[in-house]
Amino acid sequence: MTLKTLLPGTTGATGQQLTLGVMGGGQLGRMFVHAAQAMGYFTAVLDPDPASPAGRVAHWHIQTGYEDEQGLAQLMQRCDAITTEFENVPAPALITLGAHRPVAPGAHAVAVAQDRIQEKAHFVASLPTSGIGPAPYAAIESEALLAAVPADLLPGILKTARLGYDGKGQIRVKDRAELAAAWDQLKRVPCVLEKMLPLKAECSVIVARGANGQAVSYPVQRNTHVDGILAVTEVYEGALPAALCDKARAATIAIAHQLQYVGVLCVEYFVIDDGSADGALVVNEMAPRPHNSGHYTQNACDVSQFEQQVRAMAGLPLREVRQHSPAIMLNILGDLWFPEGADKTARSPAWDRVLALPGTHLHLYGKLDARPGRKMGHLNITGTTVAEVKATATQAAAMLGLPALP
């Protein structure tokens, strides 16, 4: 359906206060709900978890599965437009919703992001003359395709085509024997084998695109992952070469335009050591939603990624982004509640000490139980200079028992 301008504080098509809905009740949904409510919208969340972070703060929590017909009907009855907070929402559910209410991003864009094989084909189609593309790869969906894998793709990383995230569903392989064993380990589901490349850095770009084709880009985020999970994001002048950043932002906007995307989109890249001073960009994957690496925008920019998400789905003008402070984001996992090991009693980290540091901004997600590996929140650190922000982030990491900053 066509997106219309949905002015906050007005009566919607449902005859009640104009309401924005979100499929998914995790932390991204929670921050979307906060942003929408700050702008005057009512909110509704569909998520089966009675204690979902977003469901606990929304005006309405529809507690059903994502394909439950009654739940989807309730969401449509409540909402004037609907978005999603994670890419594994079943695309058929978005098709059902999209037949009756504006949905942004649409089912097609989400379906492409759900399948690495489709996703890589989309990257190739979006960036034909940019010099940027995915790592050399082969799709493996049958014994014949497994046998036909070119030798120069090894060593590589075998990834499930669907449902992999935060390093899950991925196995490094050195030779054909390990590749065959890894495919067996992954239950022979459709997979992609990607060639291992010499990595210099990882980065990501967040763009927001409206239904009218307007697109705005955030600065390039330099990311550090630990065990496949984002640990640190750094965003300031000099974090990556300027020319590389310009190419990444242009490529991300091209990817969004090719999809006719509406909403907030994050695209992740590898910076590869190709012998040049800056390195070369390789596009890795995309997330059709706000992204962990964009959380710094809440405190370092004059418009957050979540407000842009609201603006895009409500048909409001998107804001050109101004980053007013250098920033570092530290991801907070449940491990911090167990400083002596997972078998001990959980205890809250020393937030009072951390928050005494200049420029610290704590965002906890309202999850009731801390568990090792579970995303519990993030800490944004801002300041007037890069040196100041780095010094504070180093202190905060040491206080929390996090690994030293890269």
DSSP-derived secondary structure for 73-116 = HHHHHH-SEEEESSTTS-HHHHHHHHTTS-BSS-HHHHHHHH-H
Residue 321 falls inside a structural domain: yes
Q: How many CB atoms lie within 10 A of CB 369?
A: 10
Q: 186: domain CATH number?
A: 3.30.1490.20
Q: Is 390 annotated as a binding residue?
A: no
210 and 345 share a domain?
yes
- 223 known ligand binder: no
317 in the same domain as 274: yes
Question: Which range, 148-152, 228-232, 353-357, has the best average confidence (pLDDT)?
Answer: 353-357
pLDDT of residue 168 exceeding 80, the answer is no
178 and 203 co-located in one domain:
no
pLDDT at 364: 98
Cβ-Cβ contacts under 8 Å for 196 (sequence gap 6 or more): 155, 156, 157, 172
Cis-peptide, bond into residue 155, ω within 30° of zero: yes
Looking at the structure, tell me whether residues 191 and 203 fall in a common domain: no
Which comes out higher in pLDDT, residue 61 or 170?
A: 61
User: Does the residue 130 lie in any domain?
Assistant: no
pLDDT-based confidence at 2, cuts 50/70/90?
low
Q: CA separation (Å) from 60 to 25, 50, 75, 289? A: 11, 12, 9, 21
Mean of all residue pLDDT scores within the chain: 93
Residues 106-128 have pLDDT tens digits of 999 999 999 999 999 999 999 98
Residue 225 assigned ligand-binding role: yes
**Residue 278 labelled as part of a binding site:** no
Is 367 marked as a binding-site residue?
Answer: no
Residues 78, 147: one domain?
no
Is the pLDDT at 302 greater than 60, yes or no?
Answer: yes
Q: Is 307 annotated as a binding residue?
A: no
Q: How many domains does the chain have?
A: 3
Cis before 105 (ω within 30): yes
| Confidence check: pLDDT of 12 > 80 | no
Looking at 103, 118, 151, which one is the last position of a domain?
Answer: 103
Asked if residue 280 and residue 238 are part of one domain, the reply reads yes
Residue 13 resides in a domain: no
Assigned domain for 226 exists: yes
For CA atoms 30, 85, 201, 259, the dihedral sign is negative
The answer on whether 116 is annotated among ligand-binding residues is yes
**Spatial CA neighbour of 205 closest among 264, 298, 287, 268:** 268
Q: Looking at the predicted structure, is the pLDDT value of residue 166 above 60?
A: no
Its pTM stands at 0.94
**Same domain as 158, residue 231:** no
**Does 197 count as an annotated binding residue?**
yes
pLDDT score, position 353: 97
Alpha helices in 152-232 (DSSP H): 176-185
| Annotated binding residue 200 | no
Is 386 found in the same domain as 313?
yes
Chain centroid, CA 168 distance in Å: 15
Helix, strand, coil tally for the chain in percent (to 5):
30, 25, 45
Q: 194 a known binding residue?
A: yes
Same domain flag for 295 and 351? yes
Q: Do the annotations mark residue 374 as ligand-binding?
A: no
Picking from 103, 128, 156, the residue at the C-terminal end of a domain is: 103
Q: Which residues form the domain of 312? A: 199-400
DSSP secondary structure of 310-365: HHHHHTPPPPPP-B-S-EEEEEEEGGGG-TT-TTSPP----HHHHHTSTTEEEEE-
Residue with tokens 């009756």: 100
Place of tokens 């998107």: 318
CATH no. for residue 94?
A: 3.40.50.20
pLDDT at 1 over 60: no
Are residues 249 and 190 located together in one domain of the fold?
no
Q: Which of 195, 218, 241 is the last residue of a domain?
A: 195
- 319 and 361, same domain (yes or no): yes
Do residue 318 and residue 383 come from a single domain? yes
CB burial string 130-168: b at 16+ within 10 A, e below: eebbbbebbbbeeeeebeebeeebbebbbbbbeebeeee
User: What residue has token string 């980290």?
Assistant: 349
Percent with pLDDT over 70 in the chain: 97
Residue 166 marked in a binding site: yes
